[in-house]
Structures are given as structure tokens and as C-alpha cells.
Chain A
């Protein structure tokens, strides 16, 4: 009884943290898709990415969280801001960011959300994450990358090489 209550207390702290971060993420994601200002949308995307890194920490995957901050918040967002700067002169509000029939996307997204929520709630009713999982050891992650998933790793390095060369070829002026 008391052990269960103590467990509940620990989970209360985690759940409150999860709820706050999740609310911030959902709000910022809505800002990304509804904002009239492209730069504001990019900055809201930073909030979503950082919140996702916090959720990865809650899921005890700290290496992925650090990589998320480095790659997404550091590199990808700089790319996005460069894209915004290089493709439009003005940085203020704009009126012409949505398609004509964009309201049709609302029922599509809501329908998809309804079906997915129903399936998830039906399938995983009250499955709990294990309480005593420690941090994922980095040795285990690297063993997983370099032993069973070595071939995808090689393929991925070729993908990155091709992407770098392709981006240079596409974007250079001549």
C-alpha cells in the first residue's frame, strides 16, 4: 500500500513534467502550422524540438536527446533560417502562406487523430513503462549501431555523402 503510494508520488512528478512539456510542444506545433510569420514558425519549431529532447530524457534516452539538440536545434534550424532569409525579402507578417482550400485539412487531421487515438487507447489501455529502467548505457547504443545495424550505418553514410554533394550541386550558381 505505502510502496504503491510512494510509486505514485514518483510518477506524479514525472507526469507533471511530461504534461507541462507536452502542452508547450503542442502549443508550439500549432504555432508552426498556423503562424502568419515564417520566422516565428521557425522559432516555434525550436520550442517543439527542445521539448522533444526533454521527452527523450524522460524516456531515459539521453544520447538521443543530446543528438537532438545538436542536430535539430543547432544545425537544422540554422538551415531553415537560411532558407527563410534566402527565399524572401520581407520578414514580417504575410497573408499568402496557405493554400486556397486549406480548411479541408482540419477534418483530415482530426479524423486521423481520432482513429490513431482510438487504436492506441484500445491497444495499450494502461500499459506502464517499467519503473526501474536506468539510463540507456551509451556502450549498448554503440554496440547496437556497430554490430547488428552496421549495414544501415554504412548506407546512411552514403546517404549523407550523396545529400551533401547533391545540395552543393543544386544550390551553386552557374
Chain B
């Protein structure tokens, strides 16, 4: 198989995720788009791993999965806190930190 199959699939998923991060207003949907981006990175790592024939890519992919799980936990806790304080999770209304 061509390695470009997997790399281009990763690129497409990455760009769809970037579109979601820019376009979405709902905080939960932005977190989902970030998960798309992390998955595309994992596909790239495992493709290069299969090309080079060692296992470092597997290790990195496992670490990325663990970090993504932690990120989702903390991110959703923050979203819940914002919702409890403001009754809304629209990201464009969060302007307290604007100088």
C-alpha cells in the first residue's frame, strides 16, 4: 500500500477538525473537533511506524491517547463549570478576559 493513502487521510481529517474548531460556537463541539485532530495525528504516527518498522510510533500513539483522555476530562469539567455559572456554553460570549 502507498503510505500516502494514510497520510492524506490524516491530512483530510486534520483539516476537517481545524474547520470545526474555527466554525463551531458550542464548546462541546469544539472539543469533538480537537479529538478529530488528535486522531489524524495518530494515523500519521502509525503510518510512519509501519514504514520504518520499529515500535516507537505505537508508543507515541498510546501516549497521545492517554493525554487526549485527560484533556477531554478537564475540558468537559471546565465546560460544565462555565455552563453552571452562565447557563450557556457559547464560546463567543466568554469575553471577561478581554482587555
Decide if A86 is an interface residue (CB 8 Å cutoff). Answer: yes
Decide if A91 is an interface residue (CB 8 Å cutoff). Answer: no
A29-B13, A99-B92, A160-B66 in contact; A127/B39 too (CB < 8 A)?
no
Contact B76 A80 (CB under 8 A): yes
Chain A residues with Cβ under 8 A from B90's Cβ?
A: 96
Chain A interface residue count, Cβ-Cβ cutoff 8 angstroms: 86
Chain B residues with Cβ under 8 A from A29's Cβ?
A: 12-13, 16-17, 36
Chain B interface residue count, Cβ-Cβ cutoff 8 angstroms: 71
Q: Give the nearest-CB partner of A170 in chain B.
A: B77
Q: Which of A15, A87, A112, A117 contacts B83 (CB 8 A)?
A: A87
- From residue A15, how far is it (CB to closest CB) to chain B in Å? 6
Decide if B2 is an interface residue (CB 8 Å cutoff). Answer: yes
Contact B42 A52 (CB under 8 A): yes
Contact A33 B1 (CB under 8 A): no
Contact A22 B9 (CB under 8 A): yes
Given contacts A32-B29, A64-B42, 4 further A-B contacts (CB under 8 A): A64-B62, A64-B65, A68-B65, A129-B51
Chain B residues close to A by CB (< 8 Å): 1-9, 11-20, 22-29, 31-33, 35-36, 39, 42-43, 46-47, 49-51, 53, 55-59, 61-63, 65-74, 76-81, 83-84, 89-92
Chain A residues close to B by CB (< 8 Å): 11, 14-15, 18, 22, 25-26, 29-30, 32-33, 38, 41-42, 45, 48-49, 52, 55-56, 58-61, 63-64, 67-68, 71-72, 75-76, 79-80, 82-84, 86-88, 96-100, 102, 104-106, 108-110, 112-113, 116-117, 120-121, 124-130, 133, 136, 140-141, 144-145, 149, 152-153, 156, 159-160, 162-164, 166-168, 170-171, 173
